[in-house]
Structure 1
């Protein structure tokens, strides 16, 4: 019981000052909402008539006659602005949820108009919380929960756009729990709202460490699947290694090659010249000397 009382006190403290507005001009049976502990502004008409009465459970809670307030049951709770026809109910509690009847007469007492409106009081959503969990194959389960708030409604968006079915493995963009497909990443937002409040919770999601591989395995079969990057042994990407060589070293090598080539050419021509000279010497006749005439 103490916990319930504490929660109610917290709700009243948080929702204090929360204001809602409902336009019921020329509408019969309008549905209006107010925040627990807050204030609701009911736009009844453009300006005050000669005579006006507002009933709740067939009891007058406010009366206006000859352009002045005749009576109202609770001055701190009910107020009326004749210049713009605005009726205000403050310090809203659960008991304010009811049907209200608006009765308008002319100066002679003839009934001009009668309308009803339904006022519902809701506790606003206090907070929202996101919890995410990576699954075995790279999917991600995300749940959104809220504290306080009557009849909360949930919706999801990804990178500023409504979450579409192609991103979802289960659930839809209006449930409180969803499962995202493999490879979905971005800014995920859960919105929680009711008729008197609206909260959003942001969560940055990634691929849970999974990568999509597309390669040829060792047995020449094509592999296309999602798997955890840290344990990937099916595909090993070949990396090209680039070596940076000093330009001066390249220039030195070019010079050495040119010098070697020049030496080979020079040696070749020297050998040809020597061979030619030997051939000429062999072709000249040699004089024979007699032993008798030789000195």
Structure 2
């Protein structure tokens, strides 16, 4: 309403429960006065610190001086939290298809949409799922820059996306790719978008085998270094002992020569 000056009496309701009573420019009662205010001059009713419990139907009923009710004014208030983050996870399947899931955090009634190289994803590019769901499987021959967007009535957020070309890996490994975007994330160029590559359970045996091989190589290197050090130490000790033995032999010869001279 523009003003209460023409209204003899008015009531504000929330879901059939009265929250404010007024008479012209006078507020008779305000049941949520601690966090709301009403300005009779321009008919503005303000509620601060909204919460989910404030969700509902608000109705203004007004009456003229003869007590006749005027046309009620109704407003439906929906409280929704904005989307705060989006997580995109992809995984290569055994036949070269790609399973991709998109999830959001903090948003009410999220809606999902997909684009490939800037164009809306089509049903022909999908093996299962649909372009409005958060879980899809792309066909084997599909490639490009895939982006997931999540939105509701008050917010919208998109992942940075990632580029993929082929899921048929020669070594048979299945790689999963994760892209997490929050309200503080700055998406960079698609070639350098933040990604994290993780190995799925199918590749744990390969990973363990590789680690064992690395440990064996390190042990062998350690043994070789030890024996080289031991050999050098032995050669050094042997070399330092040779001169002492020669001096001893020479001294014996000299004694024998002197003994012979005294006999003559």
Q: Which residue of 1 aligns with 2:92?
A: 134
CA drift of 1:132 comes to: 0.9
- Would you say how many aligned residue pairs link Structure 1 and Structure 2? 169
Partner residue, 1:182: 140
CA distance in 1, matches of 2:22, 2:66: 14
Alignment partner of 1:79 is 2:3: no
RMSD: 2.9
Q: Aligned residue for 1:171?
A: 129
Could you give the per-residue CA deviations for residues 15-41 of structure 1, whole angstroms, max 9, x where no partner exists?
xxxxxxxxxxxxxxxxxxxxxxxxxxx
**Alpha-carbon separation, structure 1, partners of 2:24 and 2:112:** 49
Aligned to 1:63: 21
Partner residue of 2:3 out of 48, 52, 55 = 48
Distance (Å, rounded) in 2 between the aligned partners of 1:87 and 1:80? 4
2:76 is the alignment partner of 1:121:
no
Indicate if the aligned counterparts of 1:100 and 1:117 stay in contact, CA closer than 8 A.
Answer: yes
Cα gap change, 1:159 to 1:79, in 2 (>3 Å): farther
Instruction: Please state how far the C-alpha of 1:168 moved relative to its aligned partner.
Output: 1.3
**After the TM superposition, which of the residue ranges 126-135 and 56-65 deviates more from structure 2?**
56-65
Question: Deviation at 1:108?
Answer: 4.2
> What residue in structure 2 maps to residue 277 of structure 1?
none
Range with greater deviation from structure 2 (135-144 or 117-126): 117-126
TM-score (norm 1): 0.49
Deviation, 1:77, is 2.5
Contact in 2 for aligned 1:187/1:202 (Cα 8 Å): no
Q: Rate the CA distance shift 1:184–1:57 in 2: closer, same or farther, 3 A.
A: closer
Matched-pair contact (CA < 8 Å) for 1:78–1:87: yes
- Partners of 1:187 and 1:77 lie apart in 2 by 48
Which protein has the bigger helix share?
Answer: 2
Q: Which of structures 1 and 2 has the bigger CA Rg? A: 1
Is contact 2:97–2:167 with CA below 8 Å preserved after alignment?
no
**Distance (Å, rounded) in 2 between the aligned partners of 1:188 and 1:196:** 24
Inter-partner Cα distance in structure 1 for 2:72 and 2:114 = 42
Cα distance between partner residues in 2 of 1:206 and 1:155:
18
Equivalent residues of 1:96, 1:121 under 8 A apart: yes
Shift of 1:97: 2.8
CA distance in 2, matches of 1:197, 1:83: 33
Given that 1:66 and 1:107 are in contact with CA atoms closer than 8 Å, whether structure 2 keeps it comes out as no
Task: Give me the whole-angstrom Cα distance separating, in 2, the residues matched to 1:197 and 1:76.
Answer: 29
Q: Which runs of 5+ in 2 are unaligned?
A: 173-264
Say if 2:51 is the partner of 1:93: yes
